[in-house]
Structure 1
Amino acid sequence: MSVAVRILLVDDHPLVRAGFHRLLQADEEIEIVAEADNGLEAFSYYKDLQPDLVLMDLSMPTDAESPETTTNINGGLEAIRRIISYDSNARVLVLTVMESEPFPAHVIQAGARGYLTKRCAPEELLHAVHEVYAGRSYLSESIRDKLGPTFGDASPLAKLTKRETQIFSLLAEGYSVSQVAEEMFLSPKTVRAHRTNILRKLELSNNSELVHLAIRYGIVQA
């Protein structure tokens, strides 16, 4: 019998984790060694257990102390960066509902080896796990079909830097400038400057237009 792929499963929704746990464990070559529901816990488990692969959602709290309202893409991106900073050879496969750019590009830039959407078939998930474990990268076919050959330029959001994307997401979720500043450990003046740049780059006039754009690209729900 071949050696099992040891997986750390990360998602802040217990029912979702349970479903993926059952699906993955049905494969005799896969073993779930731990589950985490926030970015900080994921990083801690990674250091302690050294799993072969991390399968994680993108939208989650940064840590267990964060209230539910702080659940956003920053939690997942920060966890990826911490894990990759600790181990540059870490194999991270993202499984998320976020399908539009710039999230796939930012996830890959952060160091993840693969990107799947939660609409994927079970067979595709298992295939992606084995591909990433083997040292190869994997991008969901639905992502490839949506983005086409101009990966990274499929939406106006691709114009934003990583930090601007984080601030854009928080503003779209209804955060005030002061709340964004507190969440990201920035000064309100810095956040306002970033907000001005974001509106300019996206050719928007106000927060209302920003929210509508975020809904259009599936970053927040209407």
Structure 2
Amino acid sequence: MDILILEDHPIVLDAIKSRIERELVGARISYAGASLEDALRSVEANMPMCAVVDLDLGDGRSPVDIVSQLAAKNIPILVMSALGEATVVKSVLSAGARGYFTKTAALDQLLVALQTVLAGGTYLSPQVAGIINAPESRLKLSEREKTALVLYTSGLTMEEVGNRMGVATSTASEYVDRVRAKFRAEGKIAKTKVDLLKLAQEFGLA
């Protein structure tokens, strides 16, 4: 049973690979890396039973582009991503993804999600289901503020957020500070990264 993994963070990639190989009986990793082109080439040699896919590969591709190219190969797709906005989730599900959970969720969900998708079902983690069904956020954030918030609360350092966004660390920090100020205007205080994550989830932003 071949499984394809498309992920650009080496530590996360190794964790996913090890978990699948250790706990999913009969699983073999047919491809593990960050290149969509290489992943698609690997499919020609070994058609996987499922693909575990990150939506931000650091190459500028849109989430829908990544998912749709794999879906065109008739591969069941399980998304595991830091991008948890309702619009992103809905768009990639429409593009062909069979499951979705965010990287802030426990890795224990991975096996349950994989087994569900492999059985032909659809898996949404409780957090993602809540995001989809949450009322529209009262906060009005710019796209850059949203991106900085999602990346920062996914566990990246501020320097890594800046690198991902192609801006200076100080600029990334400014985006996050603006988000904190907007939360504060709603009577919500976010002193720590954990506070930010909880508020982002409460407002349907992560």
Q: TM-score range by the shorter chain?
A: 0.5 to 0.7
Within a 5 Å distance, the mapping from 1:133-148 to structure 2 comes to 133-148=118-133
Q: How many residues align?
A: 152
TM norm structure 2:
0.64
Instruction: Provide the C-alpha distance between the structure 1 equivalents of 2:145 and 2:3, rounded to a whole number of angstroms.
Output: 37
How far residue 112 of structure 1 moved from its aligned partner, in angstroms, is 0.8
Alignment partner, residue 34 of structure 1: 31
Alignment partner, residue 53 of structure 1: 50
Within a 5 Å distance, the mapping from 1:1-222 to structure 2 comes to 5-29=1-25, 30-61=27-58, 71-72=59-60, 74=62, 76-87=63-74, 90-148=75-133, 154=136, 209-215=142-148, 218=150, 221=161, 222=172
CA contact (8 A) 1:9 1:56 kept: yes
How far residue 122 of structure 1 moved from its aligned partner, in angstroms, is 2.7
CA contact (8 A) 2:5 2:32 kept: yes
Q: Which has the higher contact order (CA 8 A, sep 6+)?
A: 2
| Secondary structure in structure 1 of the residue aligned to 2:83 | coil
How far residue 149 of structure 1 moved from its aligned partner, in angstroms, is 6.4
Alignment partner, residue 185 of structure 1: none
CA contact (8 A) 1:56 1:94 kept: yes
Superposed CA deviations along residues 126-172 of structure 1, whole A, max 9, x for unmatched, are 0000000000010111111233266xxx459xxxxxxxxxxxxxxxx
Please tell me the root mean square deviation across aligned C-alpha atoms, in Å: 2.5
Superposed CA deviations along residues 60-86 of structure 1, whole A, max 9, x for unmatched, are 14xxxxxxxxx3451x43232112223
Paired amino acid for 1:119: T
CA contact (8 A) 2:56 2:81 kept: yes
Superposed CA deviations along residues 100-127 of structure 1, whole A, max 9, x for unmatched, are 1211011101101011111222321100
CA contact (8 A) 2:24 2:111 kept: no
How far residue 213 of structure 1 moved from its aligned partner, in angstroms, is 4.6
Paired amino acid for 2:128: I
| Secondary structure in structure 2 of the residue aligned to 1:26 | helix
Instruction: Provide the C-alpha distance between the structure 2 equivalents of 1:155 and 1:92, rounded to a whole number of angstroms.
Output: 28
CA contact (8 A) 1:42 1:79 kept: no
The share of aligned pairs that are identical, in percent, is 23
| Secondary structure in structure 2 of the residue aligned to 1:128 | helix
Distance 1:117 1:212, change over 3 A: closer
Instruction: Provide the C-alpha distance between the structure 2 equivalents of 1:95 and 1:112, rounded to a whole number of angstroms.
Output: 11
Instruction: Provide the C-alpha distance between the structure 1 equivalents of 2:151 and 2:86, rounded to a whole number of angstroms.
Output: 10
Distance 1:105 1:219, change over 3 A: farther
Instruction: Provide the C-alpha distance between the structure 2 equivalents of 1:37 and 1:214, rounded to a whole number of angstroms.
Output: 20
